[in-house]
Structure 1
Amino acid sequence: MWHIMNKLPTKVGPALASDKKFIQKLKSAVYSDHLTQTEFVERWNDVIVEYKLESNPWLTEMFNKRNEWIPAYFSDIEMAGLLRTTSRSESSNSFFQHFHEGGHTLVEFYSSFESAMDKQRLKNAQDDKRSDQIPFTDTSMSIEVDAFKLYTLELYYLVREEIKAACYHTSMPDITRDNEHRYFKVKDDLLHDKIFEVSVRLSDNYVQCNCKFFFQRGYLCKHAFAALHQCGVKKIPREFVKPRWTKNALKRHSFLGSSQVDALFEKRDKKKLKRTRAWFEFHNCMNHAEEDEEKLDSFIRGLQTIASSITKDSDNNMDQGNAERVDKFIGPIPDTEISVQIPHVSRNKGSGSRIKSSREIAIEAGKRRTCSRCKLAAGHNARSCPLNKECT
């Protein structure tokens, strides 16, 4: 949808593309979330006639393709949270480029990737903690309290704006009913007193609004909240709550919160899944306890009780468990008896008695070398004989 504004200067001329009134009127016809198909055609034709663009081939072509890019033609299709592939990749690139550079080695890249993941985990934990905070309600409607209990903090702020608008900026000039439904005509002050038609099914409070806001954003509009409040509904109908934006979205994930997927896994995978669930429940309890000393004490006592029951059962099977682990590592012990003989002992290098030199043997025997000059066994030779010094 954005491409039409980018091509305006080349398709309709720079002068007309710089006209702020023309741009504003064209945007109001194209990008409005509450226009029907008939209203879009009327606004588009008004702009074309006013600025004499009937002969513009590009605008004529775009109008003929209106069912492929105008939001009014997609109002019945669920597009809440829809992202283009390029938007998702650009967002990821923008995040990771702060952690690594193009010349990094594989080891450096892995370290940078772990740092990026740690930051995301920290931000996710901080967002979960912020979502548990209790904000001040802006209206007296009980449905706002239910919205806070369901949605994350960011989504709650968006839903709260719709609830506030339902309370302060809507009125109902006409209300009718039959055996199964109540029908409302809701006048929206923020949209120039435009009238919207809302129906509420009395059996299960299923609400429908012709603005199709829920299909575009994923949460109810102010007209639906006004009709539900008029019917005395205290909670948001759960079929209009997207699980991806709730506080327990991670817990309800199929691999963590659901017990119905166990049949799809093998025995080893089931054990791994249950350990993951146990860790999740542990961290979830810690997050709820936070800094409350009483909750922490109660949590510790519960852990000690569980630990005592687990260790009591595990001590009885300790020997059996060790034997099973040994069997898995080296294999089970064979039934046949194996006789192992004592191996032959080999002498290591340097062991035993050492062969002594003739000098060591002579010294140990107390013998002295006889000098050939003085003929004395004084332990010196002719070169080192003291008579040499006397002669000099």
Structure 2
Amino acid sequence: MIWELGTLNLGPVKAFNIMRKRYGGFENVGATKDDCKNFRARIHSYIGQYDADMVINRLTDKKQFMVDYSFFHSVDENKRLTDLYKMVFVPFTGIDNHCRNVTLGAGFLASESIESYKWLLQSFLNSFGKQPNVVVTDQDPAMKQAIEAVFDKSRHRLCMWHIMKKLADKVGHQLCNNEDFKRRMCDIVWTDSITPETFERDWKLIMIDFGLTENKWIDDMFGMRSSWIPAFYRHEPMSGLMRTTSRSESENHFFCQVANSQLTLVEFFNHFDGAMDIQRFNHRKNDHISRNTVPDNFSESTLEDDAMKIYTRSIFADQQTELQGTLSECLPMETKIEEPFLKISMKDWKAHGDGLLEVCFKKGEDVIALCTCRRFEQYGLLCKHIYFVFKMFKVKEIPNKYVMRRWTKDVVPNDLNNTFDITVDGDDAHKKAKEVAYEIMQTGEYLIGNLIKDFDHLLIVKDRMREMKEMVDELRITKPIDPKFDRYSRLIGYEKPNTDDPPTVRVPTGIRNKGRGSHKRIKSKKEKIISLKGKRGQTCSHCNIKGHDIRTCKVLKGEATAADKVANKEGRKRRAIQLEKDPNLVDEEEEEVETGDEEEFEESDEAEDSDFECEDE
């Protein structure tokens, strides 16, 4: 259980505490907290210098048995991994047919140089065989040059959020808090409903009105406007799906929950496989919901029924909202005939600007519908304006040309290649095992889908499956116990090379990359100011001279020098002024003399601060 909980980013101590609660006390765990720590140490000892070797061998085996799996690595002259290790984790994030994040691939870089990124992007291209249409990143210059060199046919888009986040620092917080400035900037930056010409005109007017014509950063951002402003991506297919790196940031957070920078390669890949299992499970769950459940039909129109049959649940919800918008948000204004097309002008009450739009429509066997909002071109989904025209001309089903396959229920086959790692001998046996497993999965989905409302029969199925599970558990228990190292190998899923030779691939030495921060706790401004002042000096309550207390006061003992007497005189004057302002100080001093608590309290505080700083270091 320690290893399994470790894949959730829980250390041996937390794993021990979970087992203590789970099994009802310390005595029922069967091990101590130190045993749990030592277990992990023994795992690390077992891996040893073969960390990279074990991972490379495992990934090479997966590449042989999994058709759609790709893996690349490279080493330097010392046989150390040059582009694969824990320093920089680079996931490639896409969007699945449920509009959820999906990890297309991932890489490890030993440095964030142009050559490293080129190697990674070329490996990605070799795996997929096709360049992506649009790549969204931040303003990293090394990444920019690598994308231009490798993905020469892709459109490189900069993250809008990262750029707009810098606006306050570049133009001043006072201007950024101006409501008129914020409204006018957001109206032209965040919308894809305006043309590039409109954006350029309004941008220049804003800069003139607010005195930003001489701002160099503003000029630089305007110069690269075609790389980040949505208005310049209106004609780019599917460009509306990603404008910022927010999906990538979400993926980073997702992986941080199951991994950390202190893991070995073997541990990290086990954690990574666990994260991928979570992602695949969520995808299968969404597939099951889309295929086996029926959502509500609010409008009871044939178009909504057709969308329900075609699209996944989340995409159907989007199309349902668009269909509902045809009832309350669209108003036809004028219809023109320009053979063979009809041009219908309408007003959208929720659209950007004046809300005036135009739909170009041709009825017949080959239905054509184009809207000036360009939602279908940017997202692959029809807009409310086209649905309004379909209803107007009695189009009962969504034409096939306007159904983008990437949003349909069956675009991702329920293939077991990426779901189960079935290790059987021989290609034929491997294929048969997958077919049987696939049939079991289909049968399970069928039973649940058909008996979900028949509770009694559902309980019968559950009991039968529980009996089979117990039978499988008994088979596992009665198997002979493996030798210790075989148990470790089976536990972590990686086999150590059966040789005393040095590893063929060695782990790299640590490299400090840009953007890497300190592991120390970030101190507040107040803490920094206090630390600059240093330790608070002691002041004697008798002579009011700094540097000693009443127990070591020379004036009180009669050992004062002439300088001490002068200082004592000045101190008594200051003390008299303090007592006039607060007479209660006399009682507090008497209590301190009796107990001596003040000095002990200060020393205790100092000791705690010292320990804390030492742990930080």
Equivalent position amino acid for 2:450 in 1: D
> Structure 1 residues 273 and 187, CA, compared in 2 at 3 Å: closer, same or farther?
farther
Which of the numbers 370, 376, 385 marks the counterpart of 1:208? 370
Q: Is contact 1:176-1:184 (8 Å) kept? A: yes
Which of the numbers 204, 207, 213 marks the counterpart of 1:48? 207
Cα offset for 1:246? 1.3
Q: Is contact 1:139-1:167 (8 Å) kept? A: no
Cα offset for 1:69? 2.5
**Would you say 1:116 and 2:278 are equivalent positions?**
no
**Would you say 1:149 and 2:309 are equivalent positions?**
yes
Q: Give the TM-score of the pair, scaled to structure 1.
A: 0.62
Match of 2:347 in 1: 187
Distance in 2, Cα, partners of 1:106 & 1:70: 40
Q: Is contact 2:381-2:403 (8 Å) kept? A: yes
Match of 1:283 in 2: 441
Residue aligned with 1:290, SS = helix
CA radius of gyration, larger in: 1
**Would you say 1:160 and 2:314 are equivalent positions?**
no
Which of the numbers 101, 110, 126 marks the counterpart of 2:285? 126
Distance in 2, Cα, partners of 1:69 & 1:242: 26
Match of 1:197 in 2: 358
Match of 1:173 in 2: 333
Distance in 2, Cα, partners of 1:281 & 1:176: 56
- Show structure 2 runs of 5+ residues with no match: 1-159, 419-425, 458-617
Cα offset for 1:169? 0.5
Q: Is contact 1:80-1:218 (8 Å) kept? A: no
Stretch of structure 1 that moved more, 61-70 or 201-210: 61-70
Which of the numbers 333, 358, 382 marks the counterpart of 1:220? 382
Match of 2:413 in 1: 251
1:1-392 pair list within 5 angstroms: 1-80=160-239, 83=242, 90-105=249-264, 108-131=267-290, 132-191=292-351, 193-202=354-363, 203-251=365-413, 280=438, 283-284=441-442, 286-292=444-450
Provide, for residues 281-324 of structure 1, a one-character-per-residue CA deviation record: whole Å limited to 9, x for no partner. 66346424524259x99xxxxxxxxxxxxxxxxxxxxxxxxxxx
- Show structure 1 runs of 5+ residues with no match: 257-267, 298-392
Task: Pick 1 or 2: higher relative contact order, CA cutoff 8 A, min separation 6.
Answer: 2
Q: Give the TM-score of the pair, scaled to structure 2.
A: 0.41
Distance in 1, Cα, partners of 2:240 & 2:429: 34
> Structure 1 residues 190 and 274, CA, compared in 2 at 3 Å: closer, same or farther?
farther
Q: Is contact 1:33-1:213 (8 Å) kept? A: no
Q: Is contact 2:358-2:371 (8 Å) kept? A: yes
> Structure 1 residues 231 and 95, CA, compared in 2 at 3 Å: closer, same or farther?
same
Cα offset for 1:147? 1.3
Cα offset for 1:193? 4.8
Distance in 2, Cα, partners of 1:280 & 1:235: 33
Q: Is contact 1:152-1:247 (8 Å) kept? A: yes
Stretch of structure 1 that moved more, 17-26 or 285-294: 285-294
Stretch of structure 1 that moved more, 28-37 or 188-197: 188-197
Residue aligned with 2:359, SS = strand
> Structure 1 residues 85 and 7, CA, compared in 2 at 3 Å: closer, same or farther?
closer
Distance in 2, Cα, partners of 1:108 & 1:128: 30
Residue aligned with 1:159, SS = helix
Cα offset for 1:189? 1.0
Stretch of structure 1 that moved more, 162-171 or 117-126: 117-126
Provide, for residues 18-40 of structure 1, a one-character-per-residue CA deviation record: whole Å limited to 9, x for no partner. 22321121011111121122332
Q: Is contact 1:207-1:224 (8 Å) kept? A: yes
Q: Is contact 2:336-2:342 (8 Å) kept? A: yes
Match of 1:318 in 2: none
Distance in 2, Cα, partners of 1:278 & 1:201: 49
Match of 2:587 in 1: none
Distance in 2, Cα, partners of 1:13 & 1:115: 45
Residue aligned with 1:139, SS = coil
Q: Is contact 1:143-1:236 (8 Å) kept? A: yes
Equivalent position amino acid for 2:161 in 1: W
Provide, for residues 61-104 of structure 1, a one-character-per-residue CA deviation record: whole Å limited to 9, x for no partner. 43343333221121111134755896665444322333344444
Equivalent position amino acid for 1:222 in 2: K
Distance in 2, Cα, partners of 1:85 & 1:270: 46
Provide, for residues 136-187 of structure 1, a one-character-per-residue CA deviation record: whole Å limited to 9, x for no partner. 2232432112112111111111222122112220011112335532221121
Distance in 2, Cα, partners of 1:227 & 1:200: 8
Q: Is contact 2:311-2:408 (8 Å) kept? A: yes
Residue aligned with 2:166, SS = helix
> Structure 1 residues 94 and 165, CA, compared in 2 at 3 Å: closer, same or farther?
same
Distance in 1, Cα, partners of 2:407 & 2:437: 22
> Structure 1 residues 142 and 107, CA, compared in 2 at 3 Å: closer, same or farther?
same
Equivalent position amino acid for 2:360 in 1: S
Q: Is contact 2:307-2:316 (8 Å) kept? A: yes
> Structure 1 residues 26 and 145, CA, compared in 2 at 3 Å: closer, same or farther?
same
